[in-house]
Amino acid sequence: MNIHEYQAKALLRQYGAPVSDGRVVTKAEEAKTAAGELEGPLWVVKAQIHAGGRGKGSFKEASAGEKGGVRLAKSVEEAADETAKMLGRTLVTHQTGPAGKQVNRIYIEDGSGIDRELYLALLVDRVTSRISFVVSTEGGMDIEEVAANTPEKILSFSVDPATGIQGFHGRRVAFALGLEGKQVKQCVALINTLYQIFVEKDAEMLEINPLIVTDEGDLKCLDCKMGFDGNAIYRHADIAALRDETEEDPKELAASKFDLNYIALDGEIGCMVNGAGLAMATMDIIKLYGAEPANFLDVGGGATKEKVTEAFKIITSDQNVKGILVNIFGGIMRCDVIAEGVIAAVKEVGLEVPLVVRLEGTNVEKGKEIINNSGLSVIAADDLSDAAEKIVKAVKG
């Protein structure tokens, strides 16, 4: 689960990490008061969306020469003006995809004078099973680009969970960033704090790009992106409260409400499968036969008829879906329950694309009978490859 910059900064502030003062607004009328509460003489007006690259992004239907989603203002009036200009519009960045994201909130921040822009991130390294730091002097840029063109400018190390974060970690970062004097002490404190937040809140990713050295020579977190482990949200009510459902794929949101493991993808074949392994195998075999899956969907072992119905509705609500493959191996799951769910869903929402069903396992005969007697035009398949071949053929001709 991801959160907005202003929410991440509030968390940083709570733990004592250096961030600027700021106010979030959702209406243009609130902007003047909000900006007026900040010191000035520089204000930064920042679109809040769950995507990076806002500064270099551009709004849809932008006027000639119009700036992106991060704008500097020299007065309260100018800050309010820029807020009004951005609210409600769609911002496209290299991370949003071409559809972009609607800007519903603006963060107005006290502007900083920048001496240097640096890069700092914490993430879970799945290879070492540890929390890793990624550090670079090349801040404010795409770290992927730095990694591709000048990998020597990136320092990366992981922290041994048995010892936790130590002073030398912070000093190592400070040295790599070329920090001096009081900045070294600030860096050690910041590294300790970020590690503490990361562990305590079950974060998955915490990126500060840029971390800056201000004109006064102090470290400050100028931007912050943060994501949390969805499986650990249940034990952090404060983090769960930060969820912004308008930022999420509506299909994935609906799926999460019914406890379905669903991930939207770009292909044309909708899949309904039980078990994550079988779902992965189903996606692979669809690709093998020359098409692309529209989603990953594991309905789980103990799915009810209602859950299957919801799953089917979510699949058919995807405009990209040109055919559906139901692939069930009934172990704990019973084939007749799946069959009933599919039929109930089709009765409710209709079926405008070809549907291939492969059932195997517990109550398979009963399941097939239900489908055969339903009057639905279902293409029956015998095994996994037969099913994949049939759905790809039905879609591609």
Residues that bind Mn ion (CB under 5 A): 209, 223
- The long-range contacts involving 305-309, CB below 8 angstroms and separated by at least 24 positions, are 305/337, 305/340, 305/341, 305/344, 306/258, 306/341, 307/258, 307/259, 307/260, 307/341, 308/272, 308/337, 308/338, 308/340, 308/341, 308/342, 308/344, 308/345, 309/341, 309/344, 309/345, 309/348
Binding positions for ligand GDP, 300-339, rule CB under 6 A: none
109 annotated to bind ligand: yes
Name the residue nearer to ligand GDP (CB basis): 54 or 322: 54
Q: Active-site residue numbers?
A: 119, 207
| 223 scored as a contact of ligand GDP (CB under 6 A) | yes
Whole-angstrom distance, CA of residue 218 vs CA of residue 241: 32
Buried b (16+ CB within 10 A) or exposed e, 69-108: bbbebeebeebbbbbbbbbeeebbbeebeeebbebebbbb
| 44 scored as a contact of ligand GDP (CB under 6 A) | yes
| 191 scored as a contact of ligand GDP (CB under 6 A) | no
1 annotated to bind ligand: no
| 4 scored as a contact of ligand GDP (CB under 6 A) | no
| 18 scored as a contact of ligand GDP (CB under 6 A) | no
**Contact with ligand GDP (CB under 6 A) among 17, 19, 35, 70:** 70
142 annotated to bind ligand: no
55 annotated to bind ligand: yes
Name the residue nearer to Mn ion (CB basis): 109 or 223: 223
Q: What share of the chain is helix, strand, coil (3-state, %, to 5)?
A: 40, 25, 35
Stretch that binds ligand GDP, among 54-62, 190-198, 260-268, 352-360 (CB under 6 A): 54-62
Name the residue nearer to Mn ion (CB basis): 58 or 362: 58
Tell me the two tokens of residue 256. Answer: 């999460």
Q: Minimum distance from CB of 56 to ligand GDP (Å)?
A: 6
For ligand GDP, the binding residues (CB under 6 A) are 44, 52-56, 70, 111-112, 114, 117, 140, 209-210, 222-223
